[in-house]
Structure 1
Amino acid sequence: MQNVIIVIHLIIVVALVGVVLLQRSEGGGLGMGSGGGGAGGFMTGRGQANALTRTTAILAGAFFLTSIILAVMANRGRVQRSIIDGAPAQSAPAAPTGPSAPNAGGVLDQLRQLQAPSGTPQPPTAPAPQQ
């Protein structure tokens, strides 16, 4: 289902780019000469301009709709987890020793302990002294 919506989304994107490029530039800031390049009379007239504007609005709405649907589908099966919920219970902290004692027991050490396989021994860590 998600692949079908992605294909529809890409078709809408290509159509939207094409419709925007077909519209006549009103400002002429990027055009050469008298504001529009070589296709001076291609899609001129009030009726075509209104049709292109309406088509652009419809394609933009469809683009936003498919974007929202894809975002909802991507988050549908996801379960939010917290690192704090998975942290093991710690016993009484050991006294800091050695030259690296102020950095021992930090968040990175706790994350390393959580990511290590259960059979791998981990060096004991001590919390940083309070200042």
Structure 2
Amino acid sequence: MQTVLIVIHLMVVIALVAVVLLQRSEGGALGVGGGSGFMTGRGQANVLTRATAILAALFFATSLSLTLLANWNRAPKSILEGVTPPVSTTAPASTGGGSVLDDLKKIEEERQKQAPQAPEAPAAPEVPRSQ
């Protein structure tokens, strides 16, 4: 059914483009309208205007029916369905109900254990002051 409607829709679109291109230009804003042409009588203008209106109505009808047909078989879906929470790769997982500050303290303790302790520099000898 959807394929048939798509084919009808495409035929209506092609016919609508052809009918619009056959109409006589009345504005002449671009300087390309006017002169003698394929259909120049006033009677043809009424037929082309009516054909344009009918084809436009068919275009909207087929567009709406294609939209309704596409949504007909689709089951309602929650926007939250299938959403997974983001996983943080930079911070370690919390270990047993502690707060973020507890985790930061543990990280700092691990860094201090892993880093080699630099030997303390000897204190500078005191220089006697002269009075």
Same fold (TM over 0.5): yes
Pair 1:54-2:50 in alignment: yes
- Distance in 1 (CA, whole Å) between partners of 2:3 and 2:44 is 34
Stretch deviating more after TM superposition (52-61 or 39-48)? 39-48
**Structure 1 residue 77: deviation in Å?**
1.1
Partner of 2:25, secondary structure, is coil
**Aligned pairs, how many?**
90
Partner of 2:8: 8
Per-residue deviation, 1:40? 1.9
Bigger Rg over Cα: 2
Q: What 5-or-longer segments of structure 2 have no aligned partner?
A: 85-95, 105-131
What's the Cα RMSD here? 2.3
Unpaired runs of 5+ residues, structure 1, are: 99-131
* % identical equivalent positions: 61
Partner amino acid, structure 2, of 1:28: G
- Per the TM alignment, residue 83 of structure 1 is displaced from its structure 2 partner at its CA by 4.1
Question: What TM-score do you get using the length of structure 1 for normalisation?
Answer: 0.60
Equivalent residue runs for 1:1-131 within 5 Å: 1-32=1-32, 35-36=33-34, 40-84=36-80, 94=97, 95-96=99-100, 97-98=103-104
Moved over 4 A (4+): 85-88
Using the size of structure 2 for normalisation, the TM-score is 0.60
